Amino acid sequence: MNKRCVTMDDLFETKSVTNPVLAPNDREAVCTVTELNKEDNAYHSAIHHIDLQTGEVTRWTYGKQRVSAPKWSPDGKQVAFLSNRNETNQLYIIQKAGGEARALTDCKEAIDSFEWSACGKKIWFTGKLKTGETFCTTVQKQERFPQPIRVTKMKYKEDFIGVLPQDQYTQIGYVDVATCTVCNFTKEPFDHSLEAVSHDGKQLVIGVNRNAQTDHDFSVPLVLVDIETKKETVILDEQGFFGNVAFSKDDRYIAYTGYDMTFQNVTQADVFVYDQTNGQAMNLTAGIDAPIGDESISDHLQQTIAPGVVWTEDEQLYFQLSSMGEVRLYAATLDGAIYPATGEEEHVYGYDVAKDAEFALLTVSTMTNPGELYRQTIATGERTKLTSFNEGWLKKVELVEPETIYYTNGNENIQGWLMKPTKFTEGKTYPLIVEIHGGPHAMYGYTYFHEMQVLAAQGYGVLYLNPRGSHGYSQAFVDAVRGDYGGGGYEDIMAGLDEVLKTESWIDETRLGVTGGSYGGFMTNWIVGHTNRFKAAVTQRSISNWVSFFGVSNIGYYFTDWHLKAGMTDVDTLWKQSPLKYAENIETPLLILHAERDFVCPIEQAEQLFITLKDLGKETEFVRFPESDHNMSRTGKPNLRIARLEEITGWFKRYL
Q: Tell me the C-alpha distance between 384 and 394, whole Å.
A: 18
Amino acid making up residue 388: S
pLDDT digits (tens, 9 = 90+) for 289-319: 999 999 999 999 998 889 999 999 999 999 9
pLDDT over threshold 90, residue 165: no
pLDDT value at residue 142 = 66
pLDDT digits (tens, 9 = 90+) for 278-293: 999 999 999 999 999 9
pLDDT value at residue 134 = 87
Cβ–Cβ contacts within 10 Å for residue 134, how many? 14
Q: Read out DSSP for 285-310?
A: TTT--S-BS--B--SS-------S-E
The distance in angstroms from the start CA to the end CA of the chain is 32
pLDDT digits (tens, 9 = 90+) for 333-345: 999 899 999 999 9
Phi/psi at 552 (nearest 5 deg)?
Answer: -100, -25
Secondary structure letter of residue 164 according to DSSP: P
pLDDT digits (tens, 9 = 90+) for 621-632: 999 999 999 999
Closest listed residue to residue 499, CA positions, set 489, 487, 507 = 507
pLDDT value at residue 334 = 96
> What count of Cα atoms within 13 Å lies in the side-chain half-sphere of residue 456?
27
Strands, E assignment, 191-252: 192-197, 203-208, 222-226, 232-236, 240-247
CA distances (Å), origin 66, targets 103, 118, 191, 238, 642: 14, 27, 26, 36, 20
Closest listed residue to residue 45, CA positions, set 19, 75, 22 = 19
pLDDT value at residue 141 = 60
pLDDT over threshold 70, residue 140: no
- State the catalytic residues: 518, 630
Q: State mean pLDDT over 550-576.
A: 96
Q: Tell me the C-alpha distance between 83 and 114, whole Å.
A: 12
Is 90 within 8 Å of 110 (Cβ atoms)? yes
pLDDT digits (tens, 9 = 90+) for 502-556: 999 999 999 999 999 999 999 999 999 999 999 999 999 999 999 999 999 999 9
pLDDT value at residue 489 = 95
User: pLDDT-derived band of residue 51, with 50, 70 and 90 as boundaries?
Assistant: very high
Cis bond upstream, residue 579 (ω within 30): no
Q: Tell me the C-alpha distance between 323 and 122, whole Å.
A: 40
Burial of 649 (0-12, 13-18, 19+ CB in 10 A): buried
Q: Tell me the C-alpha distance between 412 and 607, whole Å.
A: 36
pLDDT digits (tens, 9 = 90+) for 55-112: 999 999 998 889 999 999 999 999 999 999 888 899 999 999 888 889 999 988 899 9
Phi/psi at 491 (nearest 5 deg)?
Answer: -65, -40
Secondary structure letter of residue 443 according to DSSP: B
Give CATH for domain 4-142+157-393: 2.140.10.30
Give the mean pLDDT of the chain.
Answer: 95
- Second-level CATH architecture of 400-655: 3-Layer(aba) Sandwich (3.40)
**How long is the chain?**
656
Q: What is the side-by-side strand order in the sheet with 57-59?
A: 16-22, 28-37, 42-51, 57-59
Closest listed residue to residue 269, CA positions, set 254, 252, 250, 286 = 286
Phi/psi at 38 (nearest 5 deg)?
Answer: -70, -35
Q: Read out DSSP for 474-503?
A: -HHHHHTTTT-TTSHHHHHHHHHHHHHHHH
pLDDT value at residue 167 = 86
- Tell me if residue 234 falls in helix, strand or coil: strand
Q: State mean pLDDT over 124-145.
A: 81
pLDDT value at residue 115 = 97
Q: Dihedral, CA atoms, 525, 526, 531, 537, nearest 10 degrees?
A: -20
pLDDT value at residue 139 = 58
> What count of Cα atoms within 13 Å lies in the side-chain half-sphere of residue 532?
5
Q: Read out DSSP for 581-644?
A: GGGGG--S-EEEEEETT-SSS-THHHHHHHHHHHHTT--EEEEEETT--TTHHHHS-HHHHHHH
Domain positions in the chain are 4-142+157-393, 400-655
